[in-house]
Amino acid sequence: MILAKVTGNVVSTIRAAGYDSRRIMVVQPITPAGKHIGKSFLAIDATQAGTGDTVLVLEEGGSARLVLEEPETFTVKSVIAGIVDEIHHDANL
């Protein structure tokens, strides 16, 4: 799982089968302290997340399909699986 911040969404008029009625969001990986790390990427939203939300992203196809309850024929790499309410961490660890 990856901790990330939703930075935007993708709008498209033509989509492959299976992506109809799915929201595609732009997510930026972050540290627990909120610092941006790595590159932004796209993830299908399964949680009704919005821009600015901190989220948990699954970046493995099999798990993503399970969250979306889709058959093996649906191709997906990343899915937003949860919205984070709070993060408690010890900076000394």
Per-residue pLDDT, averaged over 16-42, amounts to: 89
Q: Is 34 left (phi over 0), alpha (psi -120 to 50) or beta?
A: left
Rounded to whole angstroms, the Cα distance separating 9 from 55 reads 14
Q: Does the 2-11+21-83 domain belong in CATH 3.40.1350.10? A: no
- Indicate whether 73 pLDDT > 60: no
pTM of the complete model: 0.82
CB atoms within 10 A of CB 93: 4
Query: What are the domain boundaries of the chain?
Result: 2-11+21-83
- Indicate whether 14 pLDDT > 90: no
- Indicate whether 71 pLDDT > 70: no
Rounded to whole angstroms, the Cα distance separating 77 from 89 reads 28
